[in-house]
Structure 1
Amino acid sequence: MKQLELYFIRHGETLFNTMDKLQGWSDSPLTPNGIRVAQQTGEWLANTSFQSVYSSDMKRTIDTANYIIAKNNSFNGAPKQSASFREAFFGGFEGLDNHDVWHTIATPYGASNQTQMLEHVSPGVVRDRMHAADPLHLAETGHQFWQRVDAGLANLLVNEPDHARILIVAHGTLIRSLTIRFGNSSFDPVHQFPANGSVTKLLLSENQTSILDYNLTTKK
């Protein structure tokens, strides 16, 4: 049975991150600090051998992947871009204030923010609630989100060799959602959002998916 070790890395800090704006399928550039964090992650993983490197098709993840690859001592190719590993699509809420949007979505359910909702329901349900609240009804539903991400994981199992170690530069909500879905009580992704440049390790096979580590950073 084929088994893959995936290193999911959240992209470096972006301009929208510093403004606390929702940034799903919209994009903003890495800040100087975001570049520094990506380079630090690359230095941290310099001696880790990767058979393949993927990123979402957003510029912030492609740039982060290239900064990491530049520091790696064994991989010197280009990242493979996959829309499957994009961030969740926030629809009509893209670019708006993160706190204000989640307060608006959560209030009808007796909560104040996304974290309080995730204490009681799955990431897929939260996606459905955002879709329902979106005036444009463009935000991804839970089914749409997981169908896309699962297709990306399935593609890896088909196209990558057994026991390959693969680096994937992706996004915070996607990584958090994977950890809630496949993790155990050793991790607390509901209350701890993955940091920019952090590493989350996932073991993927046809019959089982498990989280090995979550939100590892170079900070001591």
Structure 2
Amino acid sequence: MKQLELYFVRHGETLFNTMDKLQGWADSPLTDNGIQIAKLTGQGLSDTSFQSVYSSDMKRAMDTANFIISANKSFTGDLKKSAHFREAFFGGFEGLDNQTTWKSIATPYGATNQTEMLEQVTPGTVRDRMHAADPLHLAETGTEFWQRIDQGLTNLLVQEPDHARILIVAHGTLIRSLAIRFSDNRFDPIHEFPQNGSITKFSINANKTKILDYNLTN
């Protein structure tokens, strides 16, 4: 059975990150610090061989991936872009204040923020709650979110060779949601959000996905 090792990296710090704004399918550029973070992650992975490098099709992820590729000593291929690894879509909440928005979504459920909801329900249910609260009803539902990501993972298993090590530059909520879904007692992704430039590793085959490391930083 084909087995892959996936290195998920969260993109470098962006302008919206510094403003604590919701940033899903909306995009903002890497800051100078974000570029430095991407370069440091690249240095940390410079001796790691990858058979393929993917990123979401958001510019912040593609830019981060290209900095990592530039520092790698063995990778000579091209960056592969995939909308399957985009961040969650926050719909009408895109670009709004993070803390204020999540408080408004969580309050009807007896919580004050996203983390408190995740202590009680799955990431998919949180996506459903955001969709229900979105005045435009554009935010992704849990089903839409997971179908998109699962299709991306299935594509990797079909397209990539057995025992390939693959780098995927993606986003915080996506990586955290995967970590919660496949969590074990070694990690606490509910209370620990992936840092910019951090690395989270999974092994995956057709029957099982296992988390190997979470939120590793330089």
- Asked if TM exceeds 0.5, the reply is yes
- What does 1:16-35 correspond to in 2, within 5 Å? 16-35=16-35
1:187-208 CA-partner distances (Å, limit 9, x unpaired): 0000000000000000010010
2:124 and 2:54 map into 1 onto residues whose CA distance is 24
In the alignment, which residue of structure 1 is the partner of 2:73?
73
1:47 alignment partner in structure 2: 47
Aligned partners of 1:185, 1:129: CA distance in 2, in Å? 27
Matched residue count: 218
Opposite residue 43 of structure 1, the aligned amino acid is Q
The one-letter code matched in structure 1 to 2:47 is N
Between 1:75-84 and 1:102-111, the stretch displaced more is 75-84
Equivalent residue letter for 1:93? F
2:162 matches 1:162: yes
| 1:10 counterpart residue number | 10
Question: CA offset at residue 209 of structure 1?
Answer: 0.3
Note the residue ranges of structure 1 that are not aligned, 5 or more in a row.
none
**Aligned with 2:112: secondary structure?**
coil
SS at 1:65's partner residue?
A: helix
Equivalence for 1:151: 151
2:135 corresponds in structure 1 to 135
Rounded to whole Å, the distance in 2 between the matches of 1:32 and 1:204 is 34
Task: Give, in whole Å, the separation in 1 of the partners of 2:168 and 2:130.
Answer: 26
Partner of residue 64, structure 1: 64
Q: What TM-score comes out, normalization by structure 2 length?
A: 1.00
- How far the C-alpha of 1:78 sits from its partner, in A, is 2.3
CA RMSD, 1 decimal: 0.4
TM-score (ref. length: structure 1): 0.99
Deviations 1:85-121 (A, max 9, x none): 0000000000000000000000000000000000000
C-alpha deviation, 1:150, in angstroms: 0.1
Per-residue CA deviation, residues 11-30 of structure 1 (Å, 9 max, x unaligned), is 00000000000000000000
Helix, strand or coil at the partner of 1:30: coil
Specify the code of the residue in structure 2 equivalent to 1:75. F
**How does 1:74-89 map onto structure 2 within 5 Å?**
74-89=74-89
Deviation of 1:185 after TM superposition, in Å, equals 1.2
- SS in structure 2 opposite 1:186? coil
> What SS class does the counterpart of residue 73 from structure 2 fall into?
coil
**Aligned equivalent of 2:105:** 105
Moved over 3 A (4+): none
Inter-partner Cα distance in structure 2 for 1:99 and 1:125: 19
Q: 1:201 aligns to what SS in structure 2?
A: strand
Partners of 1:103 and 1:207 in 2: how far apart? 37
